[in-house]
Amino acid sequence: MLRTAHWDDWSLDDLLAAKGETRVSLVVPARNEAATVGDVVTRVRSALVDTVALLDEVVVIDSDSTDATYDVATDAGAVVHRSAEIRPDLGTIGGKGEAMWKSLFVTTGEVIVFMDADLLDWDTHFVPGLLGPLLTEPDVALVKGFYERPLLDGEGGPLDGGRVTELVARPVLALEYPELAGLVQPLAGEWAVRRSLFETLSVPTGYAVELAALIDTLALRGPGAIAQVDLGRRSHAHQALLDLGAMATQILAAVERRRGGVEAPSARTSTTGGSVVLRQYRSEGGTIVPAERLVDVGERPAAVTA
């Protein structure tokens, strides 16, 4: 059984005492999230930097945004870096995993908390909840958040927002990694990890970063190094169906690579070299037509080697 806790199992005073001199970074990867990133940064800074010094820095990694994400996050009080400008000698690739990998070069925390930038129904207790196991249990190296995740329109059940989780990630874990089957939200964007672990992992540049980190942590440290925390409830905007197909492709590629099925395409040198063609179909004027897209399935090497 994976260790499971609730966000209020620790008081802020308990966490501050356990934190001691440990530096903690909050990283928010963001792409075109001007509508929500400011609220995320403002509320976290107010509650966990200005009022209680649980966080040492709040860093937004802007992943090629074409809107005002950079300015909004800066105005809200975050330290903001454009992903493409971090270690330019390594090149740049669009993607959530790329932004998270690049954050290792511009943050100082021994513990890193990741939060999505598109949160709509959430609270700042997410951060201390994720930190609880890492600050109080030395053998825990990675903590996943879980929550009720309803559809925004209120239809369906409390977990119906996690379509890729139910259709791809959970079946994969049941078949290949049953030790991780107890994870409620394996793809949750709210998670925390020790730098000493994350900087040694190969990181998919796209959507598969969360699942890959879990599988690699299991292989390197065993199930005892993984914990999960009930954070209550969250909502965010949901992706279009065809976009979910691209996410599923990235997850399956990362899992297959970890099963030894394919050699990892190099993400250092070429986006195309780490991509596959996904053919999907859509209707145009009553006619079914193919639509092809390049899906990045490349991975960055362990940051300690870069």
Residue 2 burial (CB count, 10 A): 15
Separation of alpha carbons 138 and 205, rounded Å:
29
Residue 88 burial (CB count, 10 A): 8
pLDDT of residue 121: 78
pLDDT of residue 66: 97
pLDDT of residue 74: 98
Q: Using the 8-state DSSP alphabet, how is residue 50 labeled?
A: I
Enumerate domains of the chain plus CATH numbers.
3-242 (3.90.550.10)
The list of the chain residues with pLDDT below 70 reads 149-161, 235-238, 261-273
Given the DSSP bridges, would you call strands 24-30 and 57-62 parallel, antiparallel or unpaired? parallel
Separation of alpha carbons 201 and 258, rounded Å:
12
Separation of alpha carbons 217 and 241, rounded Å:
30
pLDDT of residue 159: 55
> Are the beta carbons of 58 and 78 closer than 8 angstroms?
yes
Separation of alpha carbons 76 and 89, rounded Å:
30
